[in-house]
């Protein structure tokens, strides 16, 4: 009896986290992630309507890649912002920037203006995202940390239900701008909770040691996404090859600096596939990039198969739904089982991407056989293939971290995942542009879907090739 009581007191319960002031604070922190995540799925759903209205199909991928690139900067600065101005003020600033970006995006008269607005929105969203996770240690007692982190993480799953619905309903009524306004009232509600419930802890006193942020490297990382995005413009292979070379040069410069620097951006183990950290982070990058194809799925479904925006948005979200389900299914598996999953799950994801690439351009699925639902099977397979191994990849990264680099390795997970999403979207934009996507017709959409999905089907198999260290030495 006494042992059970002690364990309960040590870990805390859901009732303690969700009741009283803790409950209001939990809603505030979850709200920041929810607003950011819901916005991601709203925009994914309305993007086909946006380019039909204001043009700029050449910049289709930029709408997401710039948003995520700006999020990297915001998320990376979150800890320093807490030290400079305190948690509450920093969080309110993030919400304010996000709202300003949302308002600018909703009133954008052109694609160029929308891209600027999305960058502002992404920076604010990145701040909220980073602050939500960083503030758990400040706001809650240690016994509630694990449950608080789990609760915040579920917001990504919730967003897959809400985002496509909001975006789809407004897009079907030719009111995509209202979809961008939709998150503003929620953000204001979150701001009211932050203002009244979240403490101002965290301001570093003058003379005290402050955390150092390698801001130049973070900016270079975001710059590499923009450089790669230029490869989706025009029809020049010279531009595409130059963009790829530019990205490789920037990443090489960051890696070389990290290996010599006292203030590296990433843990040193990340730069070697022979190190478990490097092999596992390869999984974070390559599996995340495979799922970024969901950015283009609504466009393919609407233009090739004639689906309504609401259904197209939900079909695309099936990847994320399956990702969440897969993560839950394999929780607590033994080490030998996890080692097998690290081969099976990317294989499932890669095969599903390949099958989707074969089926997506097949217009007869919708026009003759009314069987477009068949596409849901590989869409679920792509997400499930990531989810089955995802929690184990992350937990093994924490275990494999070199001594003295534990905190840096942990914080690198968010940065690397965000970068993988922005890089995957930008690379996808370049591939579909080369395949005729920018023409805006059905034939262009069909050829682009084949090129994108089948080329990205290779990525999970690359992870299998370099993942030997990820499966060795774990108990």
- pLDDT confidence of residue 12: 65
Same-domain check for residues 179 and 328: no
- Could you tell me if residue 344 is inside a domain? yes
Same-domain check for residues 187 and 324: no
- Could you tell me if residue 233 is inside a domain? no
- Could you tell me if residue 39 is inside a domain? yes
- pLDDT confidence of residue 278: 96
Report the distance separating Cα 70 and Cα 54, nearest Å.
23
Q: Could you give the C-alpha distances from 220 to 216, 238, 285, 390, 432, in angstroms and in order?
A: 6, 22, 18, 27, 25
Report the distance separating Cα 288 and Cα 385, nearest Å.
11
Same-domain check for residues 178 and 319: no
Report the distance separating Cα 133 and Cα 115, nearest Å.
27
Tokens for 53?
């209205």
Same-domain check for residues 154 and 289: no
Same-domain check for residues 158 and 300: no
- Report H helices in 207-308: 215-229, 237-260, 276-291, 297-305
Tokens for 153?
């993480």
Report the distance separating Cα 463 and Cα 469, nearest Å.
11
Same-domain check for residues 284 and 169: no
Report the distance separating Cα 44 and Cα 25, nearest Å.
29
Q: In which domain, by residue range, is 180 found? A: 15-207
Angle at alpha carbon of residue 285, lines to 299 and 336, rounded to 5°: 120
- Could you tell me if residue 155 is inside a domain? yes
Same-domain check for residues 173 and 307: no
Q: Check which CATH number belongs to the domain holding 38 and give it.
A: 1.20.1250.20
Same-domain check for residues 188 and 277: no
- pLDDT confidence of residue 211: 60
Tokens for 466?
């370099």
Report the distance separating Cα 88 and Cα 443, nearest Å.
51
Q: Could you give the C-alpha distances from 251 to 131, 170, 188, 223, 363, in angstroms and in order?
A: 26, 40, 38, 10, 40
Please state the domain count of the chain: 2
- Could you tell me if residue 259 is inside a domain? no
- Could you tell me if residue 251 is inside a domain? no
- Could you tell me if residue 291 is inside a domain? yes
Do residues 139 and 147 lie in contact, with contact meaning Cβ atoms separated by under 8 Å? no
What are the helix and strand counts (H, E) for the chain? 23, 0
Secondary structure (3-state) at 39: helix
Domain termination site, one of 207, 224, 256: 207
Terminal-residue alpha carbon distance, the chain: 31
- Could you tell me if residue 241 is inside a domain? no
Same-domain check for residues 298 and 428: yes
Secondary structure (3-state) at 308: coil
pTM assigned to the model: 0.89
Same-domain check for residues 194 and 294: no
- pLDDT confidence of residue 153: 78
Q: Which residues contact 216 (CB under 8 A, 6 or more apart)?
A: none
Domain termination site, one of 155, 178, 207: 207
Q: Could you give the C-alpha distances from 362 to 214, 310, 312, in angstroms and in order?
A: 48, 21, 16
Domain termination site, one of 153, 182, 207: 207
Task: Look up tokens 């989706």; give the residue.
Answer: 232
The beta strand positions in 169-277, using DSSP E, are none
Same-domain check for residues 197 and 322: no
pLDDT in tens, the chain (475 residues): 333 433 344 456 788 889 999 999 999 999 999 999 999 999 999 999 999 999 999 999 999 999 999 999 999 898 888 888 999 999 999 999 999 999 999 999 999 999 999 999 999 999 999 898 888 888 888 888 878 887 887 888 889 889 999 999 999 999 999 999 999 999 999 999 999 999 887 655 544 455 677 899 999 999 999 999 999 998 889 999 999 999 999 999 999 999 998 889 999 999 999 999 999 999 999 999 999 999 999 999 999 999 999 999 999 999 999 998 898 888 778 889 999 999 999 999 999 999 999 999 999 998 888 899 999 999 999 999 999 999 899 889 988 989 888 878 877 888 899 999 999 999 999 999 999 999 999 999 999 999 999 999 999 999 999 999 999 877 6
Same-domain check for residues 322 and 471: yes
Residue-by-residue DSSP string for 109-173: SSHHHHHHHHHHHHHHHHHHHHHHHHTHHHHS-GGGHHHHHHHHHHHHHHHHHHHHHHHHHHHHT
């Amino acid at each position: 009896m006494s042992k059970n009581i002690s364990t309960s007191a040590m870990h805390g319960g859901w009732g303690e986290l969700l009741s009283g002031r803790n409950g209001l604070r939990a809603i505030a922190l979850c709200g920041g992630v929810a607003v950011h995540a819901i916005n991601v799925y709203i925009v994914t759903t309305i993007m086909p309507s946006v380019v039909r209205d204001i043009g700029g199909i050449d910049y289709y991928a930029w709408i997401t890649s710039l948003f995520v690139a700006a999020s990297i900067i915001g998320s990376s600065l979150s800890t320093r912002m807490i030290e400079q101005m305190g948690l509450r003020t920093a969080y309110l600033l993030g919400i304010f920037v996000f709202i300003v970006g949302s308002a600018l995006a909703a009133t954008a008269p052109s694609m160029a203006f929308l891209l600027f607005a999305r960058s502002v929105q992404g920076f604010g969203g990145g701040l909220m995202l980073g602050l939500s996770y960083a503030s758990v240690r400040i706001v809650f007692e240690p016994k509630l940390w694990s449950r608080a982190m789990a609760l915040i993480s579920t917001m990504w799953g919730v967003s897959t239900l809400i985002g496509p619905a909001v975006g789809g309903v407004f897009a079907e009524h030719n009111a995509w701008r209202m979809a961008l306004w939709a998150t503003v009232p929620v953000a204001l509600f979150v701001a009211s909770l932050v203002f009244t419930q979240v403490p101002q802890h965290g301001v570093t006193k003058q003379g005290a040691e402050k955390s150092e942020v390698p801001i130049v490297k973070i900016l270079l990382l975001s710059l590499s996404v923009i450089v790669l995005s230029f490869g989706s413009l025009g029809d020049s292979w010279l531009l595409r090859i130059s963009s790829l070379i530019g990205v490789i040069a920037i990443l090489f410069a960051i890696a070389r600096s990290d290996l010599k620097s006292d203030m590296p951006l990433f843990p040193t183990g990340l730069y070697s596939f022979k190190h478990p950290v490097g092999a596992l982070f390869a999984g974070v990058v390559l599996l995340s990039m495979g799922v970024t194809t969901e950015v283009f799925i609504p466009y393919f479904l609407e233009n090739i198969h004639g689906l309504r925006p609401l259904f197209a948005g939900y079909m695309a979200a099936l990847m994320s739904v399956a990702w969440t389900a897969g993560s839950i299914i394999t929780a607590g598996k033994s080490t030998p089982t996890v080692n097998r999953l690290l081969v099976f799950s990317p294989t499932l994801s890669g095969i599903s991407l390949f099958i989707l690439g074969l089926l997506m351009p097949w217009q007869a699925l919708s026009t003759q056989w009314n069987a477009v639902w068949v596409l849901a099977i590989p869409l679920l397979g792509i997400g499930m293939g990531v989810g089955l191994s995802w929690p184990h990849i992350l937990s093994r990264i924490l275990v494999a971290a070199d001594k003295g680099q534990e905190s840096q390795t942990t914080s690198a997970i968010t940065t690397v995942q965000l970068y993988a999403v922005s890089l995957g979207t930008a690379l996808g934009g370049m591939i579909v542009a080369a395949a005729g996507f920018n023409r805006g017709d059905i034939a262009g959409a069909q050829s682009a879907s084949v090129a994108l999905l089948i080329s990205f089907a290779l990525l999970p198999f690359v992870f299998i090739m370099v993942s030997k260290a990820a499966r060795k030495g774990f108990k």
